[in-house]
Chains A and B, each alone.
Chain A
Amino acid sequence: MEAVLRAVAIYAFLMLLFRIAGKRSLNEMSNFEFVLLLIVGEATQQAVLGKDYSVTNAFLVVLTLISINIALSLLKQQSERLKRIFDGMPLVIVENGRPLKQIMDKVRIVEDDVLEAARELQGLERMEQIKYAVLETTGIISIIPKKE
């Protein structure tokens, strides 16, 4: 019983924390953020497993975490409201080559991030070539180029 409860508690806590941290956190990972993610994993591992290092406990914890994920994905499919709560919504950050500064500041994105995505995804060179840049719910910036 404890294995399930521990897994649920840690899942809920991490879900809440990463929603608070924002979409861009740990998405485009720097070396430091990668290390941070490892430390988060190490710290939560202690809390999830407790002193029980049995194979059964590991199975039950993993089973619970995956099951919560499946259950949430099914619920999100059923309810738009739940999907918004757990995943957030996409956000337009560049419109017709014009960066929406106020919005970008709120989501902690600078023009360089947009240009980097534009170069990587579409091979674009300048902001004016972008029709729309969208911060997706996954934290990725997607780029729609202007038609030549």
Chain B
Amino acid sequence: MPRSHQTDLDIEQDIDYHKRSWRRQRIAWVVMAALIIATLLGLFGPGLLGDSVAGAKGAPLWMEFNRFGRLDAESTTLRLHVEPGAAGGGPLRLWLNRDYLERVRVMHVVPDPQSVEIAADRYVYVFAVQDASKPTTITFDLEPDCVGLLRGQVGVEGGSLLDFSQFIYP
């Protein structure tokens, strides 16, 4: 190891080493700032980049959801908008595909469904609707149970269906 030439100190000093590490530090600071900006924009959760819509607004069924979620955090919300006439008469029967629901924990459903029916490939949530001429919003608060890409399908029985995908961070 080169030693200091300028002083009598018995000290290991390599100014080039420090210069290299300062340069790396500056680059890391820029990366850190970029990550914070990305976070504020919603790359790791809710925000401009993270908020997404499946289906066209005003369609019989459309959904607002978070494109990015986090493992073990109540970080994902599916907000389903059912426009008048989407359900036909009777109770509203919304379904979510089983593959998706096996990879998340359903923390709350607002409003509470009347019942949940289990079919081979889907769970059907049944809601009593008093006035089918008004739009309805159903919210699912979810806690992802696995990391990576999640693909889901949601629909109204006998009506339209939506495909969506989310990325879950650890």
Contact = CB atoms under 8 A, between A and B. Distances in A.
Interface of A: 1-4, 51-57, 60, 63-64, 66-67, 70
Nearest to B37: A4
Interface in B19-68: 29, 32-33, 35-36, 39-42, 44-47
B70 to A, nearest CB: 4
Given A1-B40, A60-B44, A51 B32 contact: no
B36 A4 contact: yes
Given A1-B46, A70-B29, A51 B73 contact: yes
B170 A56 contact: yes
Interface string B131-170: 0000000000000000000000000000000000000011
Contacts of A55: 71, 169-170
A56 B32 contact: no
Contacts of B75: 52, 54
Given A52-B75, A53-B73, A70-B29, A4 B40 contact: yes
B23 to A, nearest CB: 15
A51 B74 CA distance: 7
Interface string B102-140: 000000000000000000000000000000000000000
Given A51-B74, A52-B73, A55-B71, A67 B36 contact: yes
A57 B39 CA distance: 10
B128 to A, nearest CB: 30
